Amino acid sequence: MSKNKIEMFFHCKKCMKEVDNLDMSPREYAEVEVGWTKKGFQVWCKRHEINIIHVDFIGQKVGLQMNKTNQYFQEADEDFSELYTILEESLMTLDRALETKGYVRLCKNDREELQELKNSFNEALSLVDDHIRGDK
């Protein structure tokens, strides 16, 4: 029978901030997915839709020692997550705009341009998501 030999857990930074105000442990609050990627495996926060850690076996970026390279990649993940959040919020705002009477009053060409803008936001989200998941 195997025993849990985990010495250090991976937690989402945002979840850790939120759990401070709740009467539960980080383990109880966590909502994560763990799975294989093209390069290794990833721990993903389902609650905040952000990367917790992506272990890259191909590039041998494994281990928990925080050297300059690991720090760079951690900061890059945080930067990509911030970019994703801003783009996602912008897309939700655009969706709300497309539901207004003002949008309906626009001529057909202008409505199509706004739909193209929405498609561009979706493509940008997909691109950033690829970076977060380590696919790029």
Segment 4-16, tens digit of pLDDT: 887 778 888 888 8
Per residue in 49-63, pLDDT tens? 888 888 877 765 544
Q: Which of the two residues, 44 and 76, has the higher pLDDT score?
A: 44
Q: Of 80, 83, 86, 82, whose CA–CA distance to 131 is shortest?
A: 80
CB contact at 8 A, 42 and 53: yes
pLDDT exceeds cutoff 90 at 32: yes
Q: Is the dihedral of CA 53, 59, 61, 62 positive or negative?
A: positive
Backbone angles phi, psi at 40, to 5 degrees: 180, -125
Per residue in 73-96, pLDDT tens? 667 777 888 888 888 889 889 999
pLDDT exceeds cutoff 50 at 64: no
Instruction: Using a cut of 0.85, tell me whether the model's pTM lies above it.
Output: no
